[in-house]
Structure 1
Amino acid sequence: MESENSSAVTAFEGHTPFALAEPVRANNDLGLVRQLMLHTREGIVLMDARGRVLEVNPAFCCHCELDADSLKGRHLTHVSQGRYQGRFYRRIWQRLQFRGHWEGEVEHLTGQGEVATHWLMLRLIRDEAGLISHIIGILDNISRLRQSEERLSYLAHHDSLTGAANRAFLLSWFARIKCDLHPDEQLALLFIDLDRFKPINDGFGHGVGDQVLKTLAGRLRQQVDANEMVARIGGDEFVLVWRMSGGEEQPLLERAARLLENMEAPVSAGHHQLSVGASVGISLYPRHGLEIETLLRYADTAMYEAKTRSQARISLFDSASFARLELRSRLAREFHEALARRQLFLEYQPRLDVESGRIVGAEALLRWRHPVLGLVPPDDFLPAARNAGLLGRLAEWVFGEAARQSQDWRRQGWQGRISLNMRGLEPELEQQRILRLLDILREHGAEPADFELELRSDFIMRRSDSLLRVLSAFRQAGMGVYLDNLGDGRLNLRLLQQLPVDGIKLDRRLFAEAFEDYERAVIRALLLLAGTLGLEAVACGVENREQLAFLQEHGCHLIQGRLVAPPLAPAQVPAFMAGCPAPAGSAGRD
């Protein structure tokens, strides 16, 4: 409250007082009053009708960091040391005249340059004629209370581990910031998913995992300025919001590439140097949407594209992404009906032992024949099943249908194994649904030993010890376990030695049209590795006799692919088995 501010002084001195409340008469026992003022914790100030200080107690001097002599005779506005303008004091004076009292927060700068917050209560004292004789003020320091409230507010709006904003604060902040944009500005919303965090968290413990998260969150904060945002919205998921001018995408993608390069740098955690990395999906306001929930959904979709299809691990949401998202949303809505109306079915691709010429197994492949869209590929409907919360029911259906088919073929005399391709259904195994899935096989009269599980090598290589225990339990029940898509997915040689698996499946991409030196070298290396570890090897996607001869030369005698047969309907399998050619060197069909 500034004494040199003439408008502020006028606000207290230039008005004719009038009576509204019942007069408050001063106590004549001034000695008792002075004793009370001397010993109370609250600061007390007595002013004349114009707001000039007459008396202050020691607590008031302590709160304001001013001595009594420097206060007496000065206007009360002197205390605030210029933090407020005249209109602030005029509002106080108007409220005092209207109600006879005012209270609220006031601030002043301490000797250390910090802002101290006080709660000030003012009350008019009137004489018998109803005119203002004095103004009394009571001052209490609430700086610690405000600091506690600010801390609680911070904790309510920020992630306690990383210090990044939480989802609730991101939503409220976004609603404000988008209203402040200039016409040529837009917001880029980046959905960031850490690529290799879960195996680090599982393998090194949550303490190391937390340290990694804090370090990476700090790096993300370095990528934003005061008008931008970093939020943590999931275990290893972050959102950045960048404010940018113009509509060109290249500067945005270049900035995102620098961010990824920064995230890829090793993190020091204890005695470990750990590399995590990330994938980024980007949506733009207002180009792609006006609401943040929509933009988050679009950025998440783009991030999924980056993780599965983009070599740069950065993907900008576009019309093709929108079409895929719409399709996924539609399929998610209709997947309940697909299960209820038996639109799902299994096809079986035979596995040939080229040495004996016998069909020794068949891989069960999940299909959906949509009444309008036709045959929907698994890469489209499995995310839909996950979004619909039906992966569990789908896994149970696959086990039940394969068990029923296995029993039917056994009654016809075929004793081979059915391989259950669990691509996209692996999370259900992580949920440790072992007993239920094994019971389903037995309910149909089948034995676990009649089946194999195929799981993506990418999935197993990055998953936790709990999944490995699940796989061990399936093997103990008699089921075989195979790593799928080796040669294309992730491979950790040290972990491969420890995995509870029986064999590997060479990825069909190795047998594409260009079967050249690189593919041959990878296949030789994988076959040698399998032989060293005592694992069975199955070649998938074998297309011609040249590939077959190469496989036989290097000791691989189990094959699948169009050279043997395409995926078949269940009713076609018995006839195919009966007519399957026997010569090892010429097995299959062109």
Structure 2
Amino acid sequence: MSMRDLDECVLIIESDSAAATLIRASLVVARDGPFSVDRVANLREGMEWLSKRGAKAILLNLFLSDSQGIETFNKLYAISNGIPILIMSAPEQEEQAKLAILGGAQDYLLTGFIDAHSLSRAIRNVMARQLVEEELYLEKERAQVTLNSIGDAVISTDISGTVTYLNVVAERMTGWTQAEAVGQPFTTVFRIVDGITRETLRNPMDRAIKENKPVGLTIDSVLIRRDGYEAAIEDSAAPIRDRGGRVTGAVIVFHDVSEARSMLLKMAHLAQHDFLTDLPNRLLLNDRLMQTIAMARRTRKQLAVLFMDLDRFKTINDSLGHLVGDKLLQSVAHRLTACVRGSDTVSRQGGDEFIVLLADVENANAAGHSATKILTALAENHCIAEHDLNVTLSIGISIFPDDGEDAETLLKNADAAMYHAKENGRNNYQFFKQEMNERAVERQSLEGSLRQALARQEFVLHYQPKVNLKTGAITGAEALIRWKHPVRGLLYPKQFVPIAEETGLIVSIGQWVLREACRQAKAWQDDGHRPIPVAVNISAVEFRREQLLAEIKDILRDTGLEPRYLEIELTESVLVHDIASTMTALLALKVLGVQLAIDDFGTGYSSLSYLRQFPIDTLKIDQSFVHDIAAERTDVAIVSAVIGLGNSLKLRVIAEGVETGKQLAFLQTEHCEEGQGFYFSHPVDANAFVKLLGKDNTDYTVN
């Protein structure tokens, strides 16, 4: 038998030889044929035939010499291996033929109405139907294998919200097997609540069907598994449409974000709290202070800011060591917290500076009473590592609204009053007085000089190398601005950049920095040095300007520097200000070809969700975390987490502030790619940096 014969083979199972001969003759000459036809006389022979050979279709008479009725079909169907079966039935046996249809037969033909054309057409139809069903089955199998291979959970429903499918991940996350879930209402299988309010959330599948568009899950969605276990989830639901565009159901794709959300909350807490004392840090204090001012303004009440500094703390820290000093700071934090109400805020600003925000005071005397209470509590000895330590405070107090109507002014004036307390013998408190504003006058003088600095060409860039921690090679440079003040000498960014940002001068200064950094990078290349990227930090004010992209294009064109050799560094607080506009700006910069880095990562509103969306190339671990990784378990955990996060997202990770061999060794162990800090080099001018580029890599000890 040829391959075509096998492909077109029709098996007739008919005990009546005359009837079988007529059927064979019809099929051999059929217009839709011809077919290759074989005939057996009874069920036993038919079953033997099928066990040895194949067929494309079977014509079966239910009433044979060795088997009668529906049992004939059932026995044959059980071994037919999916071959389509057509029943040949006399009119009086039609009910048996219908039962066979219900059991899986493709069709039935009444023997009194069979002709060559109708018979061959019926066979062609069942063959075509079988081919389509096989293709749909394979497609379905491929889809199911794919869905079971992905890491996300998938559930689909029909238009009424009844579950039609779960993949294996969805089975594991919901606690329902597919066999149990199919046919159940979606809300029975997929139970979600708000993780904060615990209220049942609206059915996302219902929303997708009614709105006829993809919808995202509500933030803080929590899935309650069948056994009561809870998992934070995120993702989206979408409608399913048929070929005509009609909605026939919905599908939801989701995944467990419990660990990521837990890390996010932990990092958010760390970003807003002091790592040593766990008190609110400067960022959180500013937020609370602004809220408290707004409340006081509405209720016409007063608040007080107490700015305090430990007297002669440096002596204790230097003589007894940092560990004792840190324990003392923790003891001070504990006593300060015990002295105030729950509605007040105690914050550590860094070093030995603390701020207390008294949210509601009747008058200045009440703030003085709190300051006296604090001085008394702190005067008692602190027993630290078998040392009885005595520490005192100098406290400056400013009152809202008399001493300022905004957070910055209140903090500035309390700071000025604190210095006055130190000048008056320490261990006392002083209220702010207007004559303490000499520092404000000094600031005005600095601002005036700053406005002329660009025109007088008083700015200069220094460059600090970024180093590969495996090879020691210089991989890039960060451009850092310095101000050669004609009277004060060399000033660093923290001494004038805040003023520049407040006055708007940061825009013109930032343009100069970008242009000069690009010019210098291209000049190094033109002098024959190996091309390396130069990084420039962009402030929030600069980044939010619509003209930034055009200005960067102009600078790159004018200087001739390829975009890939410019890296823009942005802080987290800049990125999360306006997600939509931030994404647009970042994508435009990415299309231009420049590199993008998150500077000081971990100190702002760290968000894994945004990190995954933004087209970032590099994470820079803030130097505050790197500084104490040899001693602080918290910092070790943070640095390890950030490195692991960056590596998993295929991002470059650069540790800032590397100053010791121990820090370097830890970073190498954690597979941090690059480092930057005094261990390798201080920031140096362009000429000195050229010498660094010319050095052999072994000059940087990285093993």
After TM superposition, the score normalised by the length of structure 2 is 0.41
Higher relative contact order (CA 8 A, sep 6+): 1
After TM superposition, the score normalised by the length of structure 1 is 0.49
| Structure index of larger Rg | 2
